[in-house]
A and B are shown apart, each in its own frame.
Chain A
Amino acid sequence: MTMVSDPVDDFTKRFMSDPPGHSPAQPGVRLTEQQLRARRSRSIAIALALGAFVIVIFLVTIVRLGGNVLTPPM
């Protein structure tokens, strides 16, 4: 864990003081190959979990409603 002091000054120096046409040096965080792989696997797992959750909600809704889904109340 790295401590960074005065982020407002840091932000100003990086993004607001450079002359036009001059790109700021190293903005943001660059992920390593391992971090990218880990993030990708986590993203896929979250997508699968959400997909499974949607399917569960769908199936339970069908089971709970049963045949009544085709006979709406008058």
Chain B
Amino acid sequence: MSLTVARVEPSIAGVGDYIELMKPRVMSLVVFTALVGLLVAPGHVHPVIAMTALLCIAVGAGAAGALNMAYDADIDALMTRTAGRPIPRGRITAGEAAGFGMTLAAFSVVSLGLLVNWVAAVMLGFTILFYAVIYTMWLKRATPQNIVIGGAAGALPPMIGWAAVTGGTAIEPILLFLIIFFWTPPHFWALSLYRAEDYARAGVPMLPVVAGEQETRRHILIYTLLLAPLGVTPWLFGYAGPTYGIAAAAVGAIMIVLALRVRAERSGYAASKQMFAFSILYLFLLFAMLLVDRSSGLLFGHVAL
């Protein structure tokens, strides 16, 4: 009788490594946009239920991040931006990360279903599945449209927040979905312009690697031209007041100016870096203004134009 067993070294991973696995910065944006979806939804939800929903969404986002890192460990090791992640650094094995991600995914979806409602839970499950399977395993290494289609996963949290309150969906959360959906490509393409070597080394077909810089800059401008008016639609559809409308138009105009500068840039990546940095602020401001607008409406009897 002959058996062969593998002896695995005991883990040296600390809590910080597992937190890093959950992509806390992405998670914070997910939680914030879900919070806005939850607060602008009509109807009332008990604060404990609302906090539970946000916690489940946060854990679900963390699960998606862990599953992404588990699958992408090979290419993460090749890219400067991601080489310091826990798996390439040898702190956590890909198998441990996958187990961690699947456990969190199951817990977050089932908890959201049992404690809040099953519509929101199914949406969360779909989001995790979309990010981990459709985007990470399939699109990311297959097409330069990876982040365009994959962006849907990052755009769903406001709809989940809304569903946590209403048990359904409506035009308003779909508009919020579309805003994030059209925000994602210019945001990531601005980053990929000055990280193109990284992506090329890892064999990820990002737009600058496959179609070149000029084509990417053109795409950034096109998507920004679609995004800026979309940002104003909550006001145009009567879901927000003129203060929001004016502010959204102003930050949208700044995005267009930055995209034009990216388009005109011939050497260096100063404009691209500026675009990437401002795009994060843009999304945050847009959703924060929606929240302020809704809060002031509740306090002072808001009337939409």
Q: Residues of A with Cβ closer than 8 Å to B?
A: 1-8, 29, 31, 34-35, 37-39, 41-42, 44-45, 56-57, 59-60, 63
Q: B15's contact among A5, A31, A45, A56, by CB below 8 Å, is which? A: A45
Mark B188-217 against chain A: 1 for CB-CB distance below 8 A, else 0.
000000000000000000000000000000
Is B15 touching A42 in the complex (CB atoms < 8 A)?
yes
Contact A3/B13 with A60-B49, A63-B49 known, Cβ cut-off 8 Å: no
CB distance from A58 to the nearest CB of B (A): 10
C-alpha gap A20/B226 in the complex (Å): 82
State whether B10 touches A29 (Cβ < 8 A).
yes
- Interface residues of chain B, those whose CB is within 8 Å of chain A, are 1-15, 18, 46, 48-49, 52, 55, 111, 115
User: Which residues in A have their C-beta under 8 angstroms from that of B115?
Assistant: 56-57, 60
Partner of B12, one of A4, A38, A57: A38
A29: chain B residues at CB < 8 Å are 10
A35 touches B12 (CB 8 A): yes
B10 (CB) vs chain A CBs: closest residue: A35
Complex CA distance for A50 and B226, rounded to whole angstroms: 45
A8, B11: Cβ atoms under 8 Å? no
Bound-state CA distance A42–B19 (Å) is 11
**Once bound together, how far apart are the Cα atoms of A8 and B5, in whole Å?**
11
By a CB distance below 8 angstroms, the chain B residues around A57 are 115
In the complex the two chains form, what is the Cα distance from A22 to B2 in whole Å?
A: 28
- B7/A2 in contact, CB under 8 A: yes
Would you give the shortest CB distance from B10 to chain A, in whole angstroms? 5
Chain A residues with CB under 8 Å of B5's CB are 4, 7
Whether A8 contacts B3 by the Cβ 8 Å rule is: yes
- B14/A41 in contact, CB under 8 A: yes
Residue pair B52, A38 in contact (C-beta under 8 Å): no
A59 CB contacts on chain B under 8 angstroms: 48, 52
Contact status B3-A38, CB under 8 Å? no
Closest CB of chain B to A43's CB: distance in Å? 10
Given A1-B8, A8-B3, A35-B12, 10 more pairs with CB closer than 8 A: A1-B6, A1-B7, A2-B6, A4-B4, A5-B2, A7-B5, A38-B11, A38-B12, A45-B15, A63-B46
Separation of A42 and B16 alpha carbons in the complex (Å): 9
Minimum C-beta distance from A56 to chain B (A): 6
A32 to chain B, nearest CB (A): 8
- Bound complex: CA A50 to CA B56 (Å): 14
A60 to B115, CA, bound (A): 7
Residue contact A56 to B10, C-beta cutoff 8 Å = no
Q: What B residues does A35 contact at CB under 8 A?
A: 10-12
Please report the C-alpha to C-alpha distance between residue A6 and residue B2 in the assembled complex, in whole angstroms. Answer: 5
A49 vs chain B, min Cβ distance (A) = 10
Instruction: Determine the distance from Cα of A2 to Cα of B6 in the docked complex, in whole angstroms.
Output: 6
Pick 11 A–B contacts, CB within 8 A, sort by A.
A5-B3, A6-B3, A38-B11, A41-B14, A41-B15, A42-B14, A42-B18, A56-B55, A57-B115, A59-B48, A59-B52
